[in-house]
Amino acid sequence: MPAVCPRVLATIALGALFPSLGCSSALPNPRPDVETTDAPRPAPRWGLVIHGGAGVLDRASLSPEREAEMRAVLAASLEAGHGLLAKGGSSLDAVTAAIRILEDSPLFNAGKGAVFTHEGTNELDAALMNGHTREAGAVAGLRHVRNPIALARAVMGKSPHVMMIGEGAERFAEQEGLALVPESYFYTEERWQALQRALAAEKKAPPPPPQGKPQSFWESPAGREYKFGTVGAVALDQAGHLAAGTSTGGMTNKRFGRVGDSPIIGAGTYADEGCAVSATGHGEYFIRYTVARDVCARVEYSGMGLGAAADRVVMDILVKAGGEGGIIAMDAQGNVAMPFNSKGMYRGYMGADGVASVAIFRDR
C-alpha cells in the first residue's frame, strides 16, 4: 500500500464537499456570472481531480481491505499531483504525476493493472492535453511502455504529432528513453481470470433482454468484467492553466485492435482555457458523442456552468443513448464536476487547502 501523508488520513467524505455527488458535484462559482464592477477578480481555486474508472461496482464484492487499498492509491495519486501544484508547478506536470501513480498500481485498469484482450495480450492507451496551448499527445495499442501517460507527454512535447500507435509509438518511446517492460510485467492473476470468465460467458448465448428494455452494456458478459475502466486526472494550476489526461488498459476480451475514447482528443480527454475533462465508461458512446469536448463547448458557447454542462451530457444525453460512465471536470475558476450514471466511480479531489477527499459510491 502506498505511503500516504497524515493529512490524507484525515480524509473527509466527498459528499460533504459536494452535496449533489453523482450529479453536478460542482463547487459554487466564486464570482457572479455578470460582473458590473472593475474590481479585481479573485484568484482561481487551483486543485486536482482524479478518477479510477466507473462501472458496475458491487458493494458486496468490495471487501473493506480492498476498498482501503484502492482509497490509499487514490490518495497517493492526489498527493503526487497536488504536491507539484502547491510548489507552483504546472497542471501538465500534476496530471502526469497523478496518473503515473495509478498506472503503477495493479488495482486499476491502466498500466500495471491493464486488462487482457481476447488474444491474451495487453494493449494500453493514453492521452494528455494542455488547455492553455491546445497542445495534445496521444498513444494507443502499447504493449511494452510502463507509463503510457509519459509517452503521451513525449508525443505532445517532443514530436510534431498528436497521436502515435503500436510499434511506431514504442520505437519513439525507446528513442526518448522511456521505461519499457516485458509483456509479463502487465500480468496479474485477477485480470487473467477476468478474461477467462469473459471467454466462458462469450460461448453462452445471452438471454433476450426484457421487452422494451435494451440490455445495458454493463449487464452484458463483457460489461460485467469491465469494471474499472480507466484512470484520469484534471488540474488547474496557480497560473490559471488547465490540463487533462487519461490512461487505460482497454476492455477485457476486446478484439481487432479496438481503441476506446481515452486517447481520442475531444472524446475521452479534452482541455482548453476554460474547461478540462477526463472521461471513463463505455468508450464507443463517448466517442460518438464527443463527450469531453461537448461539456467544454457548452461552458464556452452556451454560458452554462460547469456542473450544469456536465450533468446535461452525462446524466441526460448519454443516458438516453445508452452510454454508461462518468467524467471529472474543472473550469478556469476551480469549479469541479464529477457526474456518473453508473453504480459507482472511483474519484478524488484535493484543492488549495490540501485536504484529500476520496469516494467510490454516491454516498461514500
Residues serving a catalytic function are: 230
Quickly tell me which residue has 435494451 as its cell. Answer: 214
Contact 55, 109 (CB under 8 A): no
- Whether 326 and 338 have beta carbons less than 8 Å apart is answered as yes
Neighbours of 35 (CB within 10 A): 9
Say how far apart CA 222 and CA 23 lie, in whole Å.
26
Residue showing cell 526518448: 176
Contact 295, 332 (CB under 8 A): no
**Can you read off the three cell numbers belonging to residue 6?**
497524515
Between strands 163-165 and 136-142, the pairing is parallel
What is the torsion angle, in degrees rounded to the nearest 10, for the CA atoms of residue 120, residue 322, residue 235 and residue 122?
Answer: 0
Is the separation of the CB atoms in 73 and 102 below 8 Å?
yes
Whole-angstrom Cα distance, residue 74 to residue 53? 11
| Cβ–Cβ under 8 Å, residues 340 and 6 | no
Distance CA 345, CA 318 (A): 16
CA distance 280 to 293: 14
Q: How many CB atoms sit inside 10 A of residue 206's CB?
A: 11
Check residue 156 and report its DSSP letter.
H
What residues have CB less than 8 Å from 193, skipping those under 6 apart?
none
Four-CA torsion 28, 129, 290, 77, nearest 10 degrees: -60
Q: What are phi and psi of 287, to 5 degrees?
A: -70, -50
